[in-house]
Structure 1
Amino acid sequence: MESLQFTHNALLVLMSCIVALAAGFTGLSLTRNLSQKTVTQRKFSVALAAVALGGGIWSMHFVAMLGLQLPVLFFYDAAITLISALTAILIVGAALILLHFTKRTPQRIALAGTIVGAGVLVMHYIGMAGLELCRAIYTPFGIIVSSGVAIGLCILAFGVAYGQRTNRNIFLGTLCFAVAVCAVHFLAMAGTRFVSEAPVMDFGPSMSNEVLALGVILSSFVIFGAFLLVSITYLVPVATTDAEPLPPREAALPQPTGEFHIPCERDGTKVFVPFSDVAIVRADGHYTQIYTERDRLFCAWPITEATKRLLPAGFLQTHRSYLINPAKVAQFERTKDKGRCIFEATGLPPAPVSRSKLQAIQDALTLPVGATRAG
């Protein structure tokens, strides 16, 4: 069967690459600073990032396909085209869940990159399967090369972006992600030939290039809108850590002398907070959040390490996930089998007291139930 000659529209090829860049930047930026968010907010941010990255892979592919010029008329199966988009989003979402809801290690980062690389490939070949009136025929060389490039560059992209969560690394990771998505598409296309075929029974309704263009324009509009939104966050100072950074090298850092300090991070910079300034220590996955009267800071200690170091310094453990500084407590409240500690500083959240610790915390604080500390 004779192969069809094909070319690409250069302008649409360029636009597809820009879409990939915008999607990569948006998705990787949406997952910054997750340590400053609640679990619900983290889930929402990861879901949005999956839509941005997965939707960007899909949009890049079909912007480029709009530029595909064949000597025959061809259509797309709408159902298969939609399945390709959903597949990309779900696979990328699985990788982001691995990165943000499990302990992050170099091996996990590499696994997440491999998953995303596989997602790029799966999306490409599902999308190509939606062609009607012509059929794509693949060469082993094209499949092998595009697979290696997809997985290798996606591992590199996530290794750079998640090795250390700085703005510079996110920008470099964005570039690697965009190169990965574009390279996979065009390397796979270089190893593909097209042949015309008679109409066959459709899986879903047929869709012309014009209808596809409307869908691609809508998805690109959403991606670029989100791109502009996250770009604004780089204009204000924000912390550059998230819930699962790689383990820090604290031993190489100079330690302050005098009063016992807790190593924390503020705006991506290591700071040492005097323990007497701390009101609450709260578990946050494998790490902790440190609350002072003015700040909420990230600390690389797990709650077990914080407990071992702070209990001898006079802190109290009110709950398996909470330590408190009794000097900062203004009031102890008890309702049936639950309790909580209210703090002097406004803006600090109350610390819960578990049932098993109610009496011990009340006795340690030397406060009657519901009483307020004087002064």
Structure 2
Amino acid sequence: MEFVDVSHNGFLVVMSCLVALVAGFTGLSMTRDLAAKPVFEKKASVALAAVALGGGIWAMHFIAMLGLQMPILFYYDAAITLVSALAAILIVGAALILLHFTERNRRTISLAGGIVGIGILVMHYIGMAGLELCRAVYTLPGVILSSIAAIALCVLAFGIAYGQRTNRHILLGTLCFAIAVCTVHFLAMAGTRFTAVPSGAEFGPLMSNETLALGVILFSFVMFGACLWVSVTYLPAPEEKTSKSEAGPAGSKPLLQIPCERDGGKVFISAEDVLFVRADGHYTQVYTEKDRLFCVWPVTEAAKRLLPAGFLQTHRSYLVNPVRVTRFERTKDKGRCLFDGDDLPPAPVSRSKLKAIQDALAS
């Protein structure tokens, strides 16, 4: 069997990696803060994210394949090429459903990452099966190395992106996802040889490199547009001007408003009406005299905003409004703050903060 020499166009290699990076950023950003959204909107966001991530895997592969240079003429089977894209989108969609519609823990995140890694492999080898007038011959080390890299790097990417849903972790997860997609492709290609065949058994109509390029360009254009759309959510919100009626007495600061969810809609609760805030996973629960409301702020963000407004952090998971504390109780080396309200739980005070909280409440 005679193999042909192959090389790669450097510009298209760089573009393929850039598309993988943009796809990862777009898909992982679309799934932020889904817990607070209605079920239909949550499903739509997961579907769009699956298209972004799965389609990005497909686009990266075929942009890199457009840069594959061989001394023979070759085409692609259009039907198999389409199947490879759909397979990637469906497998990634299954992983996202697992993450957003079941209990999310370390095992679930690892399983989802492994599924996405398998999706990259499935997409790659189905896409390679679409070659016509040219046949890919795989080596065992190439298949094994690319498989290990796909699963390990995707588990790492999703472990970072879903371990904590902060901007920093999503951006790091995006980088790991792009590295995973690109590494798997080029590791697999390094272990692949190509040989010319006189004819092929077409499953569908043939598609030239020029036609494939048009499809990839169109998808990439949509992907970059979606990237710009989701990137707006990372920009700092403009400061809203407060009218005199909202500002309170002359010289006083405007009242802080906390964004919460009630019956599927957004409401804003004044900080002075809040008794305490409790961490709830990557989000928080806001307690008033009559309500317990969901807030998309993590406890770190709530602390950053509420501590300057006079709240006290009694525990790593609790922020308390000292004005609304009706009684403080101490038991040995721990304490708790009690409030007036219907069936309100107390806010615990950790040992390390006990003296500081006692002094603050006594002043």
Q: Could you state the TM-score of these two structures normalised by the residue count of structure 1?
A: 0.68
Within 5 Å, give how 1:38-53 maps onto structure 2.
Answer: 38-53=38-53
Within 5 Å, give how 1:310-329 maps onto structure 2.
Answer: 313-314=341-342
State yes or no: 1:76 paired with 2:89: no
State yes or no: 1:279 paired with 2:266: no
The superposition leaves residues 30-68 of structure 1 with CA deviations (integer Å, 9 ceiling, x where unpaired) of: 000112210100000000000000000000000000000
CA deviation after TM superposition for structure 1 residue 313, in Å: 5.0
Q: Equivalents in 2 of 1:35, 1:237: separation in Å? A: 21
The superposition leaves residues 103-156 of structure 1 with CA deviations (integer Å, 9 ceiling, x where unpaired) of: 001000000000000000000000000000000000000000000000000000
Equivalent residue, structure 1, for 2:20:
20
Say if 2:286 and 2:292, in contact at 8 Å, map to a contact too.
no
Q: Which amino acid aligns with 1:66?
A: L
The superposition leaves residues 330-359 of structure 1 with CA deviations (integer Å, 9 ceiling, x where unpaired) of: xxxxxxxxxxxxxxxxxxxxxxxxxxxxxx
Equivalent residue, structure 2, for 1:263:
278
CA deviation after TM superposition for structure 1 residue 262, in Å: 4.3
* 1:195 partner SS: strand
Equivalent residue, structure 2, for 1:164:
164
**RMSD between aligned residues:** 2.8
The superposition leaves residues 59-115 of structure 1 with CA deviations (integer Å, 9 ceiling, x where unpaired) of: 000000000001000000000000000000000000000000000010000000000
* 2:135 partner SS: strand
State yes or no: 1:214 paired with 2:210: no
Q: Which amino acid aligns with 1:58?
A: W
CA deviation after TM superposition for structure 1 residue 314, in Å: 2.4
Q: Equivalents in 2 of 1:265, 1:104: separation in Å? A: 13
Say if 1:262 and 1:275, in contact at 8 Å, map to a contact too.
no
Q: Across the two proteins, how many residue pairs are aligned to each other?
A: 270
* 2:55 partner SS: helix
Equivalent residue, structure 2, for 1:229:
229
State yes or no: 1:131 paired with 2:131: yes
Say if 2:31 and 2:49, in contact at 8 Å, map to a contact too.
yes
Equivalent residue, structure 2, for 1:95:
95
Q: Equivalents in 2 of 1:269, 1:108: separation in Å? A: 19
Q: Equivalents in 2 of 1:225, 1:138: separation in Å? A: 36
Say if 2:286 and 2:293, in contact at 8 Å, map to a contact too.
no
CA deviation after TM superposition for structure 1 residue 269, in Å: 7.8
Equivalent residue, structure 2, for 1:119:
119
Within 5 Å, give how 1:181-220 maps onto structure 2.
Answer: 181-220=181-220
Q: Equivalents in 2 of 1:17, 1:133: separation in Å? A: 27
CA deviation after TM superposition for structure 1 residue 199, in Å: 1.0
Q: Equivalents in 2 of 1:161, 1:92: separation in Å? A: 15
The superposition leaves residues 284-314 of structure 1 with CA deviations (integer Å, 9 ceiling, x where unpaired) of: 9xxxxxxxxxxxxxxx9xxxxxxxxxxx952
Q: Equivalents in 1 of 2:16, 2:165: separation in Å? A: 27
Runs of 4+ in structure 1 deviating by more than 2 angstroms, as ranges, are 236-239, 259-262, 272-275, 278-282, 312-316
Equivalent residue, structure 2, for 1:63:
63
Say if 2:66 and 2:209, in contact at 8 Å, map to a contact too.
yes
Q: Which amino acid aligns with 1:100?
A: H
Equivalent residue, structure 2, for 1:6:
6
Q: Equivalents in 1 of 2:18, 2:162: separation in Å? A: 22
Q: Which amino acid aligns with 1:275?
A: T
The alignment-based identity, stated in percent, is 65
Q: Equivalents in 1 of 2:192, 2:279: separation in Å? A: 53
Q: Which amino acid aligns with 1:263?
A: R
Q: Which amino acid aligns with 1:212?
A: L
Q: Could you state the TM-score of these two structures normalised by the residue count of structure 2?
A: 0.70
* 1:76 partner SS: strand
Say if 2:58 and 2:88, in contact at 8 Å, map to a contact too.
yes
* 1:135 partner SS: strand
Q: Equivalents in 1 of 2:101, 2:10: separation in Å? A: 41
Structure 2 unpaired stretches of 5+: 239-257, 259-273, 297-316, 318-339, 345-363
Equivalent residue, structure 1, for 2:306:
none
CA deviation after TM superposition for structure 1 residue 274, in Å: 4.2
